[in-house]
């Protein structure tokens, strides 16, 4: 914050969004830079004659739901990233994130920096928006109930204002951890990895019941089962599919073979929840999600909703143990590794294309990187969109086969770097 994201840039974002939309709702997570960024957004929106409606601290899915009454929504958040980071997410009235075309339009306006600034008597106004948290809470409470012990860890983020109370209203016996609002995230880092959730895991093992955890803005949820076992996004994706039994599902290109075993029609997308939501809207899909933890429930909207996911997990745990459900899921060994690179990306990419073209396999999917499918196994090589890193993911139906695939894939990456 203050390096790539500056008040001047944020003001331009507000002016660009306001140029395209008459009424914009804004919310923030708990980060210390949130007030500054909201103020800059409001200034930009009002400067072009549009209305800014400020909802204060909200989880991202709550803001996305509230955007239904406006032309657009802006969420000030850095999601699961550390406290010093911040950014903005832009939302449509249907709860979906701005797609690449919409984002490009905003970026073009910012680059040109030619905004239709208004006279003093044509400026937009700032309004305070109330009721978004209550509306989100009530919509879930009306359809889900639970009867189990729950330890909830909200990372001191905005879900502290909704998830513990919602779970209690649903009938859960709730113990809270890191549920005091604090943008410095004093209890743990915002990303809900197993390494960051040692306190939650320990409390579940001593207290009993299940554990639930959010990231820094509430678009993700993970769980700890009754045995104290961490259930990451990849496991929960399969668990939700098994529970909901959708006829068709949208998942990214790095999702497990287990999804193919469980659902007849699997639509694979680029990595990123915006692509999941887009595929769901276009093809009428009821559920989609990513191994990293965002889950999209079409009946609730097209924003990944960690609050609803947590409530649904509590409801499921009240019917039967999550541990038993997970033990019955198909699961295969998987390998993940990152490789830093310093050479020109274009040259590496060309070498990869040449290498992959010579592999004997069933298919090569180039939707997002190179996904090489071999029936009983696959590997994916893709470039990070934010840092000079190549990510390798591989999966096979048994350990011996995985070892073979990983050796082949690592050799390929090594020859290309």
Residues classed as catalytic: 79
End-to-end CA separation in angstroms for the chain: 32
Distances (CA, A) of 60 to 87, 128, 132, 301: 12, 17, 11, 12
- Using alpha carbons only, how large is the chain's radius of gyration in Å? 22
Structure tokens at 73: 């929504």
| Dist CA 29 CA 5 (whole Å) | 16
Strand pairing class (126-128; 51-57): parallel
Identify the three-state secondary structure at position 42: helix
- For 62, the enclosing helix (H) or strand (E) is helix 60-66
How many Cα atoms are found within 13 Å in the side-chain-facing hemisphere of 15?
A: 22
138: left (phi over 0), alpha (psi -120 to 50) or beta: alpha
Number of neighbours of residue 178 by Cβ within 10 angstroms: 21
Number of neighbours of residue 380 by Cβ within 10 angstroms: 22
Cα-based torsion angle of the residue sequence 178, 179, 184, 187 in order, rounded to the nearest 10 degrees: 0
**Positions of E strands within 230-318:** 230-231, 248-252, 265-269, 287-289, 295-297
**Adjacency order of strands within the sheet including 287-289:** 265-269, 248-252, 287-289, 295-297
């Amino acid at each position: 914050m203050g390096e790539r994201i500056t008040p001047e840039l944020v003001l331009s974002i507000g002016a660009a969004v306001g140029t395209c939309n008459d009424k914009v709702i804004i919310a923030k997570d708990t980060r210390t830079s949130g007030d500054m960024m909201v103020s800059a957004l409001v200034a930009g929106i009002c400067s072009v004659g549009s209305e800014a409606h400020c909802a204060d601290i909200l989880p991202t899915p709550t803001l996305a739901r509230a955007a239904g009454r406006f032309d657009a929504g802006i969420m000030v958040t850095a999601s699961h990233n550390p406290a010093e980071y911040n950014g903005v997410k832009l939302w449509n009235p249907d709860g979906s994130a701005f797609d690449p075309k919409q984002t490009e339009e905003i970026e073009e306006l910012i680059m040109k920096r030619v905004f239709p600034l208004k006279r003093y008597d044509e400026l937009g106004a700032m309004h305070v928006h109330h009721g978004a948290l209550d509306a989100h809470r009530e919509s879930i409470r009306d359809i889900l109930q639970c009867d189990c012990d729950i330890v909830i860890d909200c990372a001191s983020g905005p879900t502290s204002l909704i998830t513990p109370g919602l779970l209690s209203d649903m009938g859960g016996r709730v113990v809270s951890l890191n549920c005091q609002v604090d943008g410095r995230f004093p209890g743990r880092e915002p990303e809900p990895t197993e390494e960051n959730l040692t306190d939650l895991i320990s409390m579940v093992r001593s207290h009993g019941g299940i554990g639930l955890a959010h990231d820094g803005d509430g678009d993700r949820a993970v769980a700890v089962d009754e045995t104290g076992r961490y259930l990451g996004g990849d496991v929960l994706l399969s668990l939700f599919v098994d529970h909901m039994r959708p006829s068709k599902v949208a998942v990214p290109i790095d999702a497990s073979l287990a999804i193919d075993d469980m659902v007849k029609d699997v639509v694979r997308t680029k990595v990123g929840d915006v692509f999941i939501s887009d595929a769901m809207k276009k093809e009428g899909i009821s559920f989609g999600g990513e191994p990293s933890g965002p889950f999209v429930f079409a009946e609730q909207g097209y924003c990944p909703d960690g609050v609803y996911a947590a409530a649904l997990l509590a409801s499921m745990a009240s019917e039967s143990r999550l541990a038993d459900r997970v033990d019955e899921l198909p699961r295969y060994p998987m390998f993940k590794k990152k490789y830093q690179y310093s050479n020109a990306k274009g040259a590496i990419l060309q070498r990869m294309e040449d290498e992959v073209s010579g592999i004997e396999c069933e298919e090569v999917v180039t939707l997002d990187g190179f996904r090489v499918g071999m029936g009983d196994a696959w590997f994916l090589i893709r470039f990070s969109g934010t840092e000079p890193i190549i990510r390798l993911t591989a999966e096979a139906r048994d350990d011996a086969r995985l070892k073979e695939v990983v050796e082949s894939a690592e050799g390929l990456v090594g020859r290309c770097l």
